[in-house]
Amino acid sequence: MKIAVLVKLVPDTASQIRLNQEKSWIETRDLNWVLNPYDEYAVEEALKIAAEKGGDVTVITYGKDEAVEALRKALAMGANGAILIKKEGYTDLLGTAEALAKVLKEKAFDLIFAGLKAVDDDCAAIGPMIATIMDIPCITEITKLEVGDGQVTAQRDIEGGHESIQASTPCLLTAQKGLNEPRYPSLKGIMMAKKKTVEILEGEHVEPRVETLSLSYPPERAPGKIVGEGLDAVPELVRLLREEARVIE
């Protein structure tokens, strides 16, 4: 089985994100970069399936030279191959999906995994966009997966419950938390990852069809108050919620 996993390098979720001086982009200098947490679930699931059913796992990213770091992290977890599709400048969502879909089509994978969302742009869009471009089935936000012969059955959460969905392969799946527990790369894995070669492809540059107008910090929350300590504070809290905040009757 040929399995692809789409991965992205993102700032660590614990990062304080600051804007640059011109407020035209985020300040990237002091950030700690990690493999997108949702992509870790995707890589883990792919590795598990490859181990159970036989096959190999190729991790793919569309990005600048630095993005190779995401590939290294996934290789260290155990992926067999890696592809960097080089991009220049800024691309829009559709451009990213098109660039990835082009390579995915050529390489003819049986299963393609992506993360539910990248925790930088929080779009949750690339997976279903690629599947639509490729015209293959896609199940998003999966929390459970069974792979059979030429088909998969996945579970996904919906509001107030979950649903179980079947699709034939090739198909694309986006990984949600709960799917598995991603492994930590072993020291040996990290050493091996450094030696594995990364295939480099030139991506076509598509001019972004969106314009970023401005970046800002979220509105500050008004300073709150400590109502009090212990049980004595409860009646006052209730009074404030009723009379000041007016959020309860």
Partner 1 sequence: MNVLVYVENRNGAVKKAGLEALSKGKALADAMGGQTAAVIIGVDVDQVVAEVKMHGADKIFVIKKDDLEHYQSAGHLASVVEAVAQFDSKLVMIAATSLGRDLAPRIAAKLGIMYFPDVTGAEFKDGDVVVKRPVYAGKIYMDFKAAKLPVVISTRPNVFDKVEIEGAGEVVELNPEYTLQTKVLDIIQSAAQKLDVSEADRIVAGGRGLKEPENFKLLENLADTLGAAVGASRAVVDAGWRPHSEQVGQTGKTVGPTLYIAVGISGAIQHLAGMRTSKVIVAINKDADAPIFKDADYGVIGDAMQIVPALNEALK
Ligand X SMILES: Nc1ncnc2c1ncn2[C@@H]1O[C@H](COP(=O)(O)O)[C@@H](O)[C@H]1O
Ligand Y SMILES: Cc1cc2nc3c(=O)[nH]c(=O)nc-3n(C[C@H](O)[C@H](O)[C@H](O)COP(=O)(O)OP(=O)(O)OC[C@H]3O[C@@H](n4cnc5c(N)ncnc54)[C@H](O)[C@@H]3O)c2cc1C
Question: Which residues of the chain form contacts with ligand X (CB under 6 A)?
Answer: 6-8, 36, 38-39, 42, 60-63, 96, 100, 114-115, 117-118, 121, 123-127
Size of the site for ligand Y (CB under 6 A): 2
Whichever of 77 and 100 has its CB closer to ligand X, that residue is 100
237 makes contact with ligand Y (CB under 6 A): no
Does position 206 interact with partner 1 (CB under 8 A)? The reply is no
The pair of structure tokens assigned to 195 is 């030696």
Q: Which is nearer to partner 1, 72 or 117 (CB)?
A: 117
The rounded radius of gyration (Å) of the Cα atoms in the chain is: 22
d(CA 247, CA 244) in angstroms, rounded, equals: 8
> Residue 38, interface with partner 1 (CB under 8 A)?
yes
Binding of partner 1 by 177 (CB under 8 A): yes
| In contact, 92 and 40? CB cutoff 8 Å | no
Q: State the binding partner of 200 from partner 1, ligand Y, ligand X, none, CB within 5 to 8 A by kind.
A: none
**Interaction between residue 81 and ligand Y (CB under 6 A):** no
Among 3, 7, 9, 37, binds ligand Y (CB under 6 A): 37
What are the residues facing 155 on neighbouring strands?
144, 164
Tell me the three-class secondary structure of 48-114, residue by residue. HHHHHHCCEEEEEEEECHHHHHHHHHHHHHCCCEEEEEECCCCCCHHHHHHHHHHHHHHHCCCEEEE
Residues facing residue 97 across a β-bridge? none
What secondary structure letter does DSSP report for 186? P
When binding is defined by CB under 8 A, the residue of 53, 56, 153, 190 that contacts partner 1 is 153
* SS3 call for 122: coil
Name the residue whose CB lies closest to ligand X: 115
Q: Is 63 in the site for ligand Y (CB under 6 A)?
A: no
Tell me, what amino acid is at 191?
M
Verify binding: residue 234, partner 1, rule CB under 8 A.
Answer: yes
CB of 37: closest distance to ligand Y in angstroms? 4
The encoded tokens of residue 243 equal 């009379």
Pick one of ligand Y, partner 1, ligand X, none as the site partner of residue 187 (Cβ within 5 to 8 A by kind). Answer: none
Residue type, 213: L
Fill in the per-residue mask, 99 to 128: x = in contact with partner 1 (CB under 8 A), - = not in contact: --------------------xxxxxxxxxx
